Amino acid sequence: MVKIDSFNFAGKKAIIRVDFNVPFNDQKEITDDTRIRAAIPTIKKVLDDGGSAIVMSHLGRPKGTVNPEFSMKYVAGRLGELLGTKVLMAEDVVGADAKAKAAALAAGQVMLLENLRFHAEEETKGCEAADVDAFVSALAAMADVYVNDAFGTAHRAHSSTALIADKFDSNSKMFGFLIDDEVTNLDKVLKSPQKPLTAIMGGAKVSTKITIIENMLGKVDNLIIGGGMIFTFVKAMGGNIGASLCEDDYLDLAKKIVEEAKVKGVNLIIASDCVAADKFSNDANTEVCAAGSIKDGWMGLDVGPETIATFKEVIGNSKTILWNGPAGVFEMDNFAAGTKAIGDAIVDATSKGAFSLVGGGDSVAAVNKFEIADKVSYISTAGGALLEYLEGKELPGIKAIRG
Ligand code: AMP
C-alpha cells in the first residue's frame, strides 16, 4: 500500500475526499472549523510537492438534489484562509464547470467541488448501478491520484469514499494523513496491542455498545464496564438497582457476557459500589452503597470509591488502554469523580509508557472537561466510523484502499 508521506505528488492531480461537514450559524458562518483544519496537512502535502488538489466533501443532507443552502462555497473561504492560497470553487460536482476547471488546474492550485450529495449517486441509494458508475468514473477522470482523508465517513460505502478507489491502481490511491493516523493508532489497540490490554467501556446504554463489548472480549485482558450500563449487568446478576438506568431487553445478553468473559479468561470488572442519588440532579441527596443494594426510587449516577480503587489498579497495570464512554454522569460535578479518576489513571499509565486511545463523543468531552487531552496518546474523534471499527467491522473506505 502506498503511504502518503513517501509519495511524490509533483505534476499530479489528486482528488481528495475530506470531511468538511462543518456546523454553521444562521449567517452561514462556520462555528467550528476543526474538520477543515484536520484536512490541511494532506492538502498541503499535495501542493508542496508540486501537485494540484481537487477537494471533495459532502455537507449536510441535501438528499440528492441541488440545494444552495448546502453549497460548499460557504466552506471555500475558510479553506483558502487556512491554506494561505485561493481556492477555486467549482459550480458543480461532475458537470462542465468542474471538468473544465479540473482540466486547467495548475501545479499548486486547489479546487473545491460542489457538495457531493447534490447527486443521489454519491450515497447510491435507489440509483441504477450504471448511473453510480458514471458518477464515480466522472469524478475519477478528473485526477491521477485518489486520496481518502475522511475517516468520519469511512464506514459508508459511498461513491467518493469507497467506490472511486476501484478506478485507480494500487500505486495511485492512498489514505491521507488523518485516516493513516487513525488506522495506525486504532491498530495499536485492535491488532497488535502491548499486553495487558484494558478496555474501559462506559456510557448510558448497553444496547449501543454491545457489539463493541463482544468484539473486545476476544482481545482484552481486562474489561471495565462503567456508566449507566453497569446496572443492566448488576440487575442481571440479581442486584437491586432501584430507579437506575436499565435495559431489561439486555439482561440475558449481560449474563451471557459475564459467562463469556469467564470462558475467555477476561478479567471483567463491573462496579461493586456506586454513588446513588434520590433524583437525576446535581443537588440530589446522595449516598455511597453497593451497586446491587440501591434503595427503591434511588439511582446510581457514578461509581463509588471502592470501584474507583479497582479501576485505578487495573489501569495502572495496563500497557494498552482503550477508553470509550464515561463512568458516570460526569456532566454534573457531584457525579464526575469516577470519570475523572479513570482519566487521571490513564494519564498516569501513559506517562509511564502505556499507549492510551480515547474515542467516542462523550469520552472526548470528558477528556476536554478534565483538561487531559494532551496527556493521552491518541484521541479519535470519528464517531460512527470509530464505533464500527471497534466493533470489528471492515470499513468500506478502509478496505477500498488497503484491500
Ligand atoms: P453514551 O452516549 O452512551 O456514551 O452515554 C454517555 C452519557 O451517559 C453521558 O451523557 C452520561 O451522563 C451518561 N451516563 C453515564 N453514567 C450514567 C448513569 N449511571 N446513569 C445515567 N446516565 C449515565
Q: How far is CA 174 from CA 1, 40, 100, 282, in A?
A: 7, 16, 25, 49
Tell me if 4-177 shares its fold with 184-390. Answer: yes
pLDDT at 135 over 80: yes
pLDDT value of position 382: 79
Q: Could you tell me if the CB of 304 is within 6 A of ligand 1?
A: no
* pLDDT tens sequence across 69-122: 999 999 999 999 999 999 999 999 999 999 999 999 999 999 999 999 999 999
* pLDDT tens sequence across 317-343: 999 999 999 999 999 999 999 999 999
From the alpha carbon of 360, which atom of ligand 1 is closest?
4
Ramachandran bin of 297, using left for φ above 0, alpha for ψ from -120 to 50, beta for the remaining angles: left
Among 3.10.129.10, 3.40.50.10470, 3.40.50.1260, 3.20.190.10, name the CATH number for the domain at 184-390: 3.40.50.1260
Q: Give the residue whose CA is nearest to atom 1 of ligand 1.
A: 203
pLDDT at 305 over 90: yes
* Residue type at position 102: A
Task: State the CB neighbour count (10 A cutoff) for residue 333.
Answer: 11
pLDDT at 240 over 90: yes
pLDDT value of position 361: 67
From the alpha carbon of 331, which atom of ligand 1 is closest?
12
pLDDT at 148 over 90: yes
pLDDT value of position 362: 85
β partners of residue 237: none
> Does CATH number 3.40.50.1100 belong to domain 4-177?
no
153 CA distance to ligand 1 centroid (A)? Answer: 25
CB proximity list for 112: less than 8 A, separation 6 or greater: 55, 56, 72, 75, 76, 79, 87, 88, 89, 90
What is the mean predicted confidence (pLDDT) over 229-255?
97
* pLDDT tens sequence across 167-217: 999 999 999 999 999 999 999 999 999 999 999 999 998 998 999 999 999
16 CA distance to ligand 1 centroid (A)? Answer: 37
Q: Is 37 a catalytic residue?
A: no
pTM, full prediction: 0.89
Annotated domain spans of the chain = 4-177, 184-390
pLDDT at 161 over 80: yes
What ranges make up the beta strands (E) of 57-113? 87-89, 110-112
Q: Is 35 a catalytic residue?
A: yes
What percent of the chain lies above the pLDDT cut of 70? 100
4 CA distance to ligand 1 centroid (A)? Answer: 39
